Structure 1
Amino acid sequence: MRINKKYIYIPLAVVVIALVFGAGFFVGKKSVPQSALHDRIFFNKELGKPEVVDFSLFWEALSKLEDEYVDANKIDYQQMLYGAISGMTESLGDDYTVFMKPEKTDSFIQSVSGNDSFEGVGMELGLKSKVLTVVAPIEGTPAYNAGIKAGDKILKIDDKSTEGMQVEEAVNLIRGEKGTQVKLSIIRKNLDQPKEFIVTRDVIQVPVIRWEMEEGNIAYIKIYQFASNLPSKFEDVVSEILKNNASRIVIDLRNNPGGYLEVANEIASWFLPKGAVVVREEFRDGESNEYKSKGYKHLQNFPVTILVNGGSASASEILAGALRDQKGVKLIGEKTFGKGSVQTLEEFSDGSSLKITVAKWFTPNGTSIADEGLKPDIEVELTQEDIDNDRDSQLDKAMEVIKSL
Structure 2
Amino acid sequence: MKNQSKISKVVKKFLIPFFLIIIIGASFWLGTNFGKSKCEICPPQEINFSLFWEAYHKLQEKFVDKGKFDIQKMIYGAISGMVKSLEDPYTVFLKPEETKRFVEDVKGTFEGVGMEIGIRKGQLQVISPLEGTPAQRVGLRAGDKILKINGTSTVDMTVEEAVSLIRGPKGTEVTLTIFREEWEKSKEIKIVRDMIEVPSLKWELKTTPWGYPIAYLKLYQFSGKADSDFKQAAFEILASPAQKIILDLRNNPGGYLQVAVNIAGWFLEKGQVVVIEDFGKEGMNEEYKSAGPGKLLTYPIVILINEGTASGAEILAGALRDNRNAKLIGKTSFGKGSVQELENLTGDSSLKITVANWLTPSGLLITEQGLKPDIEVEMTEEDYQEERDPQLDKAIEIIKEMR
Q: TM-score range by the shorter chain?
A: 0.7 to 0.9
Q: Alignment partner for residue 54 of structure 2, among 16, 39, 60? A: 60
CA gap of 1:263–1:348, structure 2 versus 1, over 3 A, is farther
Identity %: 53
Partner of 1:390: 387
Residue 126 (str. 1) matches residue 122 (str. 2): no
Amino acid at match of 2:316: L
CA gap of 1:255–1:48, structure 2 versus 1, over 3 A, is same
Contact 2:12/2:342 (<8 A) preserved: no
Residue 324 (str. 1) matches residue 324 (str. 2): no
CA gap of 1:362–1:71, structure 2 versus 1, over 3 A, is same
Contact 1:150/1:255 (<8 A) preserved: yes
Aligned residue runs from structure 1 range 109-258, under 5 A:
109-113=103-107, 116-215=108-207, 216-258=212-254
Distance, in Å, in 1 between the alignment partners of 2:306 and 2:145 is 16
State the Cα deviation string for residues 65-116 of structure 1 (Å, max 9, x = none).
Answer: 4344455455444433333322222110001111223343344344445xx2
Question: How many residues get paired?
Answer: 375
Contact 1:137/1:148 (<8 A) preserved: yes
Contact 1:257/1:314 (<8 A) preserved: yes
Q: State which drifts further: 154-163 or 233-242.
A: 233-242
Residue 7 (str. 1) matches residue 26 (str. 2): no
Amino acid at match of 1:346: E
Structure 1 residue runs without a partner (length 5+): 19-43
Contact 1:10/1:347 (<8 A) preserved: no
CA gap of 1:89–1:145, structure 2 versus 1, over 3 A, is same
Residue 91 (str. 1) matches residue 85 (str. 2): yes
Contact 2:12/2:340 (<8 A) preserved: no
Amino acid at match of 1:231: D
Amino acid at match of 1:248: K
CA gap of 1:205–1:91, structure 2 versus 1, over 3 A, is same
**So what's the TM-score if we normalise by structure 2?**
0.85
Distance, in Å, in 1 between the alignment partners of 2:101 and 2:245 is 34
Partner of 2:257: 261
Structure 2 residue runs without a partner (length 5+): 5-10, 15-27
Amino acid at match of 1:89: V
Partner of 2:269: 273
- Indicate the RMSD between aligned Cα atoms, in angstroms: 2.5
Deviation at 1:365, TM superposition (A): 1.3
Q: Matched residue of 2:293: which SS?
A: coil
Distance, in Å, in 1 between the alignment partners of 2:70 and 2:39 is 18
Q: Matched residue of 2:181: which SS?
A: coil
Q: Matched residue of 1:345: which SS?
A: strand
Q: State which drifts further: 358-367 or 321-330.
A: 358-367
Deviation at 1:15, TM superposition (A): 4.9
Contact 1:187/1:193 (<8 A) preserved: yes
Q: Matched residue of 1:173: which SS?
A: helix
Contact 1:333/1:394 (<8 A) preserved: yes
Partner of 1:358: 355
Q: State which drifts further: 206-215 or 365-374.
A: 206-215
Partner of 2:76: 82
Q: Matched residue of 2:364: which SS?
A: coil
Partner of 2:45: 51
Partner of 1:289: 286
Q: Alignment partner for residue 367 of structure 2, among 344, 366, 370? A: 370
Amino acid at match of 2:254: G
Distance, in Å, in 2 between the alignment partners of 1:148 and 1:365 is 34
Amino acid at match of 1:130: G
Q: Matched residue of 1:96: which SS?
A: coil
CA gap of 1:12–1:349, structure 2 versus 1, over 3 A, is farther
Contact 1:281/1:360 (<8 A) preserved: yes
Distance, in Å, in 1 between the alignment partners of 2:100 and 2:391 is 36
Amino acid at match of 1:140: G
State the Cα deviation string for residues 22-75 of structure 1 (Å, max 9, x = none).
Answer: xxxxxxxxxxxxxxxxxxxxxx79942112211122222333343444554554
Partner of 2:20: none
Deviation at 1:395, TM superposition (A): 1.8
Deviation at 1:402, TM superposition (A): 2.5
Q: State which drifts further: 305-314 or 54-63.
A: 54-63
Deviation at 1:346, TM superposition (A): 2.1
